């Protein structure tokens, strides 16, 4: 079964009140006894496209102890008895999108995921603050899944994948999933700005778990619009307030293949993945689980070329043993593959010592033991779960990394504050910025250096007329174009927003040469792309960042962005 649908059988629809939200059931009128000490927020919510009242739309005020009310038949709402100060107002994400925050406050657009529907309003004692929220409709994608004869496919899994950026390159990331109803219909929401592909899949085993009367048989995956492969799939573009087309997905009959085999030559890894060889996307990834004897079985695999990856990075064994890994290319046709033999190899690791360069006290042996040494694939944008696998540092400052399969890795290390990573020198190269390669054995004599100093970049953004520019996107990226891809966590990349006076502040920058640019707008999910850095570099300003130094830099808005 595809990894993307593991656990869907256990999904249960449920609805409940959000924790920490008090739902108002009173008229909301302020009490006369406290009217001179508290304030009121009065507002109206209307549909942006028609101007009609958005009756029932919900809005919240507050941070930890939120209060929620629903707009009345005229779209009006009121929060009474509010303490004086700066209050956060949030339109419920399920009801609509606050048009003001989209079209006026570019900061909200750039920080989506933390408040596209969020605004702040001042409340004074004894006074009423008023606002109008113009509500855009939430983009919704509806459609139907059928077989080749036009009959609805019930309990099919519909997924959307959003085109996004990872480690400087475009890729596809999971965005939505839904199971079709008795008419083969589905509804995916919300479709926030971006380009998507939509695909449908059918797993008879999962379908029968959800519905004992579900059809038996294998159906090939289908893509919008009338495509059998991802290469032929049409993109669906969505923006705030978009009205999306109704989608029809057709699944044709096919034959799912079973792959069974075993790993030999050493201790067996417990887990693995069967990944499409081309293209490397989240679509049609299959989980592989091995038993104690090293046997595995993968069911319902579609035809195509795959890479079988067994084993992953593991924390080093304190007993001296080594974990193992295996990798093999497999061509899948229409016949089952039985008795596949995969040869295990010992995992590899990086060893060396840590050095501290600064005036602060060196971490104690106990603090050192709490530090982290990570090896992560360069295409992985984050460090992952810090409580997962990691390397070890001993009291003398010697370290041993995770044990990993062959491949390219970005090295990263963390110890308690105020110490920050300066470099990971492997054979004369800094593996914190450019990937190291594990191929035929361990890498020894690596030096990890920490510093208690970092660089700071302060500045101010001006428009083309020389006036301070508030709410501008300030992008900082390396001057060296070889660092624009495969950068792992991307420690040399920063995005911030200028304040109401046009000022910006970026701290904890690693020393080095950078380019910095101020532009109109860039969504957070798109900015870490080499193609954008290449365009920005033409007009960007060069800055040199040094440890312990605050660098000042004025910027002028670059024209032609975000287009």
| CB-count exposure of residue 535 (10 Å: 0-12, 13-18, 19+) | middle
* DSSP string of 297-341, one letter each residue: EEEEEPSEEEEEEE---BPPPTTS---EEEEEEEEE-SS-EEEEE
pLDDT band at 353; cut points 50, 70, 90: very high
Render pLDDT for 502-556 as a digit per residue (tens, 0 to 9): 999 999 999 999 999 999 877 666 688 898 899 999 999 999 999 999 999 999 9
Q: Count the Cβ atoms, other than its own, within 10 Å of residue 51.
A: 9
Interior CA angle at 246 toward 136 and 53, to 5°?
Answer: 25
Residues in the chain, overall count: 563
- The single-letter DSSP state of residue 267 is S
User: Is residue 360 within 8 Å of residue 418, measured between CB atoms?
Assistant: yes
Average pLDDT, the chain: 83
Do residues 290 and 272 make contact, with C-beta atoms less than 8 angstroms apart?
A: yes
Average pLDDT over residues 181-202: 90
Look at residue 320 in the predicted model and tell me its pLDDT. Answer: 67
Contact assessment for residue 219 and residue 251, using Cβ atoms and an 8 Å cutoff: yes
The whole-number pLDDT of residue 105 equals: 38
C-alpha span between 311 and 324 (Å, rounded) = 6
Cβ neighbours of 393 (radius 10 Å) = 24
pLDDT at 107 over 90: no
State the average pLDDT over residues 133-146: 90
Among the listed residues 410, 335, 511, the one whose alpha carbon sits nearest the alpha carbon of residue 167:
410
Query: Rg for the chain (alpha carbons), in Å?
Result: 27
Q: All domains of the chain, ordered by start, with CATH?
A: 21-136 (2.60.40.1120), 139-251 (2.60.40.1120), 257-345 (2.60.40.1120), 350-451 (2.60.40), 455-556 (2.60.40.10)
- Three-class DSSP category at 544: strand
Dist. CA 343–CA 325, nearest whole Å = 8
The pLDDT of residue 343 is above 60? yes
5-14, 66-75, 98-107, 453-462: least confident range: 5-14
pLDDT of residue 445: 95
Q: Is the pLDDT of residue 22 over 50?
A: no
């Amino acid at each position: 079964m595809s990894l993307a649908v593991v656990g869907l059988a256990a999904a249960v629809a449920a609805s409940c009140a959000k924790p920490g939200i008090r739902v108002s059931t009173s008229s909301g009128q302020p009490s006369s006894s406290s009217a001179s000490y508290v304030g009121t927020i009065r507002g109206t919510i209307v549909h942006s496209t028609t101007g009609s009242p958005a009756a029932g739309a919900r809005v919240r005020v507050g941070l930890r102890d939120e209060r929620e009310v629903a707009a009345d038949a005229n779209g009006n709402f009121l929060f009474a008895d509010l303490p004086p100060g700066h209050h956060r107002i949030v339109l419920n994400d399920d009801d609509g999108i606050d048009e003001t925050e989209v079209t006026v406050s570019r900061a909200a657009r750039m920080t989506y995921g933390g408040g596209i529907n969020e605004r702040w309003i001042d409340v004074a004692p004894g006074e009423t603050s008023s606002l109008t929220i113009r509500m855009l409709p939430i983009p919704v994608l509806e459609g139907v899944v059928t077989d080749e004869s036009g009959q609805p496919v019930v309990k099919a899994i519909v997924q959307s994948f959003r085109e996004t950026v990872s480690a400087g390159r475009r890729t596809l990331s999971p965005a939505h999933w839904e199971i079709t109803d008795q008419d083969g219909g589905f509804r995916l929401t919300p479709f926030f700005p971006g380009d998507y592909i939509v695909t449908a899949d059918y797993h008879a085993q999962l379908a029968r778990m959800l519905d004992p009367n579900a059809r038996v048989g294998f159906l090939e995956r289908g893509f919008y619009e009338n495509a059998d492969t991802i290469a032929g799939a049409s993109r669906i573009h969505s923006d705030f307030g978009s009205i999306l087309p109704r989608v029809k997905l057709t699944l044709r009959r096919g034959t799912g293949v079973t792959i069974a085999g075993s790993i030999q030559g050493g201790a067996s890894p417990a887990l693995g993945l069967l990944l499409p060889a081309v293209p490397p996307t989240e679509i049609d990834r299959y989980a592989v689980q091995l038993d104690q004897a090293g046997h595995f079985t993968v069911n319902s695999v579609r035809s195509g070329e795959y890479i079988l990856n067994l084993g992953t990075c593991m924390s080093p064994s304190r007993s001296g043993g080594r974990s193992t890994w295996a990798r093999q290319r497999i061509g899948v046709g229409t016949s089952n593959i039985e008795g596949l033999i995969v040869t295990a190899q010992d995992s590899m690791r990086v060893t060396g010592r840590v050095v501290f360069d600064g005036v602060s006290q060196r971490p104690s042996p106990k603090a050192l033991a709490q530090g982290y040494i990570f090896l992560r694939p360069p295409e992985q944008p984050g460090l992952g779960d810090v409580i997962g696998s990691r390397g070890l540092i001993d009291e003398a400052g010697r370290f041993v990394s995770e044990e990993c399969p062959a491949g390219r890795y970005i090295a990263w290390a963390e110890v308690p504050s105020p110490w920050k990573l300066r470099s990971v020198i492997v054979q004369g190269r800094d593996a914190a910025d450019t990937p190291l390669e594990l191929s035929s054995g361990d890498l020894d004599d690596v030096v990890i250096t920490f510093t208690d100093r970092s660089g700071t970049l302060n500045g101010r953004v001006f428009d083309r007329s020389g006036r301070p520019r508030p709410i501008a996107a300030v992008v900082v990226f390396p001057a060296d174009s070889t660092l624009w891809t495969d950068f792992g966590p991307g420690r040399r990349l920063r995005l911030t927003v200028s304040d109401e006076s046009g000022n910006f502040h970026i701290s904890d920058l690693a020393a080095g040469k950078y380019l910095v640019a101020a532009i109109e707008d860039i969504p957070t999910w798109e900015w870490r792309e080499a193609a954008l850095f290449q365009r920005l570099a033409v007009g960007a300003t060069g800055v040199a960042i040094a440890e312990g130094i605050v660098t000042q830099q004025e910027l002028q808005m670059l024209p032609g962005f975000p287009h």
